[in-house]
Amino acid sequence: MSKADIRTETGPSPQYREWLRRERRGHLAVRAAQLAVLVIFLVLWEVLPKAHVINPLFTSYPSALWPTFLELLKDSPQQVNILAHTWATVLATVIGFTAAMVFGTAIAAALWWWDGLYKVLDPYLVVANAMPKTAFVPIFYLWLGATMSVYGMSLAISLFVTILMIYSGFQGTDPNKVKLAQTFGASKGQILTKVVLPGSVPTLIAALKVNAGLSLVGVVVGEFQSANLGLGYLIQYGSQIFKMNIVMCGITILAVVSSLMYLAISWLETAVMRRR
Partner 1 sequence: MSAPATGGAAVPPKVELLGVNLRYFGTEGETEALKDISIAIAPGEFVAIIGQSGCGKSTLLSLISGILKPTEGSVLVDGKPVAGPSRKVGYMLQQDYLFEWRTILDNAVLGAEIQGADIRKARERATQLLTRYGLGQFLHHLPRQLSGGMRQRVALARTLCTDPDVVLLDEPFSALDSQTRIALADEVAEILRRERKTAILVTHDIGEAVSMAERVVVLSRRPGRVKSDHAIRFATANGSRPAPFAARNAPEFNGYFNTLWRELEVHVEG
Q: Which residues bind partner 1 (CB under 8 A)?
A: 1, 174, 176-177, 179-186, 190, 194-195, 198-199, 201, 275-276
Q: Residue 59 or residue 190: which is nearer to partner 1 going by CB?
A: 190
State in angstroms the smallest separation of the CB of 16 from partner 1.
Answer: 22
Inter-residue contact 256 to 231 (CB < 8 Å): no
**Cα 190 to Cα 184: distance, rounded to the nearest angstrom:** 11
State in angstroms the smallest separation of the CB of 154 from partner 1.
Answer: 30
State in angstroms the smallest separation of the CB of 19 from partner 1.
Answer: 23
Inter-residue contact 167 to 118 (CB < 8 Å): yes
Q: Residue 3 or residue 275: which is nearer to partner 1 going by CB?
A: 275
**Cα 88 to Cα 257: distance, rounded to the nearest angstrom:** 12
Q: Residue 116 or residue 132: which is nearer to partner 1 going by CB?
A: 116
Q: Residue 195 or residue 229: which is nearer to partner 1 going by CB?
A: 195
Q: Residue 22 or residue 188: which is nearer to partner 1 going by CB?
A: 188
In sequence order, what DSSP letters do the residues of 31-64 get, joined into one string?
A: HHHHHHHHHHHHHHHHHHHHTTSS-HHHH--HHH
State in angstroms the smallest separation of the CB of 232 from partner 1.
Answer: 39
Helix residue ranges, H only, the chain: 14-50, 56-59, 62-72, 82-113, 115-130, 137-171, 175-183, 188-190, 197-199, 201-225, 231-240, 244-273
11 beta partners: 8
State in angstroms the smallest separation of the CB of 194 from partner 1.
Answer: 7
Q: Residue 112 or residue 160: which is nearer to partner 1 going by CB?
A: 112
State in angstroms the smallest separation of the CB of 193 from partner 1.
Answer: 10
Q: How far is CA 191 from CA 104, 108, 177, 200, in A?
A: 19, 15, 9, 12
